[in-house]
Amino acid sequence: MGDLKKWVDQKWVDIGAPKKNGKYQPCGRKSASGSKRKYPKCVPLAKATRMTSSQKASAVSRKRAAGNPGGKPTNVATFTKKRKSISMGGLV
């Protein structure tokens, strides 16, 4: 039960809508139809501060590309998995 409490207590921010002073807006929006804000990509503030600008842009673009087809939020991984390189294994 400790992990759930920790998750709830974290400050969640929208990395897709940064403020001009470098801070972030709180996660979420009032309604999809009545809001000018685009589909939010929310992460804990601690993770947002550790991410590079290219990591944030990648996460936001993948979230928005996934869309929201069924009315329920779509989960998208914050970080992409590294691809394994294929070696030739001694073949010449």
Cβ-Cβ contacts under 8 Å for 60 (sequence gap 6 or more)? 15, 16, 41
Query: What integer pLDDT is reported at residue 90 of this predicted model?
Result: 58
- pLDDT tens string, the chain, 92 residues long: the values are 678 998 889 999 999 888 888 889 888 777 666 666 677 888 999 999 999 999 999 998 888 888 777 677 777 888 877 777 676 665 55
Q: 0.85 exceeded by the pTM?
A: no
* Structure token pair of residue 5: 């409490």
Query: If we measure between CA atoms, which residue out of 30, 26, 31, 29 comes closest to residue 10?
Result: 26
Distance in angstroms (rounded) separating the CA atoms of residues 57 and 26? 18
SS3 label, residue 33:
coil
